Structure 1
C-alpha cells in the first residue's frame, strides 16, 4: 500500500531543492570570486623556493609570515602609506564637497544651460586618462608641481568629479520638491536648503561616493608614476614597483605587498558595503 504525497508537501520539497541548488550555486560563485585573493594569500604565505619548485597552484609545503615583514621594508610602505593617507584625507573630502555642490546645482537650481553643463560633466567620463598624462605633466612642470605629492591633487579631483556628480545628481533629484519649496517659502536660501535638507537626506549617496573615491585615490598608479619620482614622495601603488627587478621578480614578496596595500580598502568595503549598495541603487529607482 503506497502513501500519497500531498501537493503541498511536494511543493515544499521542490522549494527546498531549489533553495539548496541556489545555495550551492552561490557558494560556487563566491569561491570563484574569492579565488584570486585565496591564490594571492597562498603565494604570500610560502617561501620563494617552495613557489619556484611547485608552482602557484600547489598546496604550500610550509607557511611563513616572513614575506610580509620583508615586503614592508622592500616596498618602503611606511613612507608610502603616510603619503597615500595624507593625499586621501585631503582629496576625498574636497572632492565630495565640490561634486555635491555641482550636483545640487544641476539637480535643484534653475541654471541656464543646465543640460549643456551636465553633458560636459558626462563627457568627462569618456576621456581616457592616458591622453591627458603628457599635457598634465607639462602643465605641472611649468608651475613646479612635478615630483610633489600635492601636484596630484588637482588631476585627481578633475578625473574624479564626473562619476561623483553623476551619482549625486541622480540622488539629489529624488529629494522631494515640496520640501525644497516649503523651505524657500520660509525664507531659506539655496545654500541653507543644501546644508539642512538635501545633504542629510542624501547621506547614503555621500558615503558611497566617499568610499569609492577612497579606493580610486588609494589605488591610482599611472599619474603617480608619471608625476612622482623621489622615493620620499611615492604612494602605495608605487611601492609595489620595488618588487620588480631588471631580470627577476620577487613574486612571493609582491603577493605579500599587494595584500598589505589592499587590506585597508577591503576592510572599508567589508564594514560599509551596505552603504555602497544602497547609495548606488537608490538614485536609480524612480518613485
Structure 2
C-alpha cells in the first residue's frame, strides 16, 4: 500500500517538476533588460530628433527661425511654408519626372538584375565567377569618375538633358548591389527543384519565370524598395545630365532654395518634407518585405 502511494506520488510530482523548469526559464527570458530598454529608447530619440527638428522648422516662420535658432520652440506655427516651397521647388514638374523614373527604371533594373543574378547563381558557363566579380566591382567605382565618359556617350547619341536618356545610367549603376543581393538569394533555392523542372521539359526561361520569380518575391520586393529609394533621392547624375527646368527631379528642385547670399531654411525644410514623405510612407508600409527579403535567403534551402 505504501509502495503504491509512493509510486503515485512520484508520478504525480515528476511532470510538475519537469514543466516548472521551462516555465522558470520563460519567465526569466521574458523579463526586460533595463539597460537594453534604456539604450533602445536613447537610440530611437537620437534617430528621430533630426526628423522632429525638420518638422518644427517647416512649421515656423523664417523670421522666428532666424531670431531664435533651429533648436528652439517656435513662438507661432504656420503652414505657409508648404505652398511657397511647392512653387519655389517646382515640385509639380519634379514629382512627375521622379515618378516616371520610379515607375520605369525600378522595374526595368530589377528585371535585368534578376536575369543576371539567376544566370550567375544557377547556370554553368565559363568565367561565371569572373563576371560576378566584375559586376560587384562596380560598387567600388565612384559615380563622379564615370560622369565624363557617360556624358560624352549620351551626347553622341543625342540623349543628354533627357529623362529617358538618364534611365540607362541609373540602371547600370544600380545593378551591382541588386545582383549581389539576388544572386545570394537564388543560390539558396534548392537545385533539386530546378532539376525536377528540367526533367519535366522546362527551359531556362520557363524555370526563371514560373519557378524562380514566385519563390523570390520577398527578395525582389526588397531590391525594388531599396532601388526606388535610391532613384528618388539621386542627385549627382541628375545634376550632371539634366539642365532644363522641365526635366528637373525632386532633389534638383530642392536646390532652388539655396541662393547666392541666403538660404530659405524654413522653406527648405518644408520642401524636404514634401520630397521625402511619399518615400517614407512607402518604406513604412513595405518595411516587412525588406526584413523578410533580407532574411529569407538565409533560411531557404
Deviations 1:30-60 (A, max 9, x none): 1111111111111111100100000000111
Distance 1:82 1:12 in 2: 54
Q: Secondary structure at the match of 1:283?
A: helix
Equivalent of residue 212 in structure 1, options 197, 210, 226? 226
Gaps of 5+ in 1: 1-9
Equivalent of residue 101 in structure 2, options 62, 66, 87? 87
Instruction: Using structure 2 for the length normalisation, give the TM-score.
Output: 0.89
Equivalent of residue 60 in structure 2, options 37, 40, 46? 46
Compare CA radii of gyration and give the structure with the larger one.
2
1:272 counterpart = 2:289: no
Distance 1:194 1:214 in 2: 23
Deviations 1:251-273 (A, max 9, x none): 10001000110111101110011
Distance 2:25 2:156 in 1: 74
Q: CA deviation at 1:280?
A: 1.8
Partner of 2:262: 248
Equivalent of residue 200 in structure 2, options 164, 171, 186? 186
Query: Number of aligned pairs?
Result: 281
Equivalent of residue 153 in structure 2, options 123, 130, 139? 139
Q: CA deviation at 1:88?
A: 1.3
Deviations 1:195-253 (A, max 9, x none): 11111011000000110111111110001001111101100100001001111000100
Partner of 2:6: none
Q: CA deviation at 1:176?
A: 0.7
Please tell me whether the aligned partners of residues 167 and 283 of structure 1 are also in contact (alpha carbons under 8 angstroms): no
Equivalent of residue 22 in structure 1, options 8, 33, 36? 36
Distance 1:253 1:31 in 2: 25
Distance 1:13 1:160 in 2: 47
Runs of 4 or more above 3 Å deviation: 10-21, 284-287
Equivalent of residue 89 in structure 2, options 71, 75, 91? 75
Partner of 1:158: 172
Distance 1:11 1:267 in 2: 40
Structural RMSD (CA) = 2.1
Gaps of 5+ in 2: 1-23
Q: CA deviation at 1:136?
A: 1.0
Q: CA deviation at 1:24?
A: 2.8
Distance 2:65 2:169 in 1: 40
Please tell me whether the aligned partners of residues 189 and 300 of structure 2 are also in contact (alpha carbons under 8 angstroms): no
Q: CA deviation at 1:116?
A: 0.7
Which shifted more, 45-54 or 139-148? 139-148
Aligned CA distance change for structure 1 residues 33 and 188 (closer, same or farther; 3 Å):
same
Distance 1:236 1:86 in 2: 12
Instruction: Using structure 1 for the length normalisation, give the TM-score.
Output: 0.93
Q: CA deviation at 1:141?
A: 1.2
Q: CA deviation at 1:286?
A: 7.2
